[in-house]
Amino acid sequence: MTRLKRMTIALAGAALLFTGAQGPAAVAAPPRAATAPLAPAPASHTVTVASTAEGLSAPESTRPGLTTFDASTTEAGKGWVGLARLKDGKGWDDFLGALSGALSNTPSEVPPGAAELDRTATLLGGLVIQPGRPGSFTQRLRPGRYLLFDYLTAGDAAPRHRWLTVTGTPVDQGLAPTATLVARDVAGVGPRLEVRGTLRAGRPLRYVNEIPGQVNELLFVKIAEGTTEASLRAYFDSLPEDGSLPPGSPFTSVSLGSLHLSTGRSSVISVPLERDRYAVITWSKDATDGARLVQKGLFAIVDVG
């Protein structure tokens, strides 16, 4: 199977959920006035990235230091902006090939794909956003060349990406988080999500990936009343390997959150979460055996105040 076809298949199931195309996820978005304003630190250094019908727009260069990426999309099914730094000698095609393997819905392809991705690039997060629901994330950038890419077009005939050159005088201002969520391996238990601090509607949060040898994302999705950890686990256990989503979903909204981070990396993000009850999940596969990390316990139920 070609790299392009594998990537398209790997993204298909997630795109159904994230864009609200399945069952209860198709609820109408609340009025914009009901969403608390995003809160970047005053005078923070920003890079604006926009996905439109015409393509992906971003500046060609920025300064090193703490940099806040403000991202928006006007198209459903496009505009999940990711950030990566490729390793010496690696190019765009190398990156796409490695990414498709690491995110494959064929479990046997995941371990070699994850190893190749680790040799190819460092993933620095990004945003799962929706039309009318922009977001921000902060990363500390060193001088050099970075890749901005639209995760949802990675399987298209003309995937969207832009190169960003980081040069000049450093800056050190960014988003100030109210809570930190850490994905880590717990000895004798497995991958778990630890929540520190208080999640606030419209306020930034820090996401840290401490799972060895594992790229991982962080997604927030509202859940139906009465949903428990046990019922979530049962739903995750019912997921087929092909990436499709069975009926009876406990999710009642589209998803918002952070795209994949490499091991040992963190990102501060601000997405328009509301005062509600959410599941915090990932659709990433275990780099050792290709199984879904949620099926091993990497999820949590949280209240956003």
Kindly report, residue by residue over 243-299, the tens digit of the pLDDT. Answer: 777 888 999 999 999 999 999 999 999 999 999 999 999 999 999 999 999 999 999
Q: 84: buried, middle or exposed (CB in 10 Å: 19+, 13-18, 0-12)? A: buried
Q: Which two tokens stand for residue 130?
A: 């929706």
Q: Which two tokens stand for residue 54?
A: 């015409």
Q: How far apart are CA 256 and CA 79, in angstroms?
A: 12
Max CA separation in the chain (angstroms): 52
Give residue for tokens 């019908």. Answer: 53
Which residues touch 159 (CB under 8 Å, ≥6 apart)?
Answer: 96, 149, 150, 153
Mean pLDDT, all residues of the chain:
87
Q: For residue 174, what pLDDT is reported?
A: 66
Whether the pLDDT of residue 11 is over 90: the answer is no
Task: Confirm if 14 and 251 have CB atoms less than 8 A apart.
Answer: no
pLDDT greater at residue 94 or residue 202: 94
Q: How far apart are CA 262 and CA 256, in angstroms?
A: 19
CA 96 to chain CA mean position, Å: 16
Q: Euclidean distance between the first and final Cα of the chain, in Å?
A: 46
Q: For residue 78, what pLDDT is reported?
A: 94
3-class secondary-structure state, position 5: helix
Give residue for tokens 């945003």. Answer: 127
pTM of the model: 0.84
Outline where 125-228 has alpha helix (H): none
Q: Give the bridge partners for 194, in sequence order.
A: 182
The mean per-residue pLDDT over the stretch 181-187 comes to 97
Give residue for tokens 């991958």. Answer: 191
The mean per-residue pLDDT over the stretch 201-205 comes to 94
* Stretch among 77-86, 142-151, 167-176 having the lowest mean pLDDT: 167-176
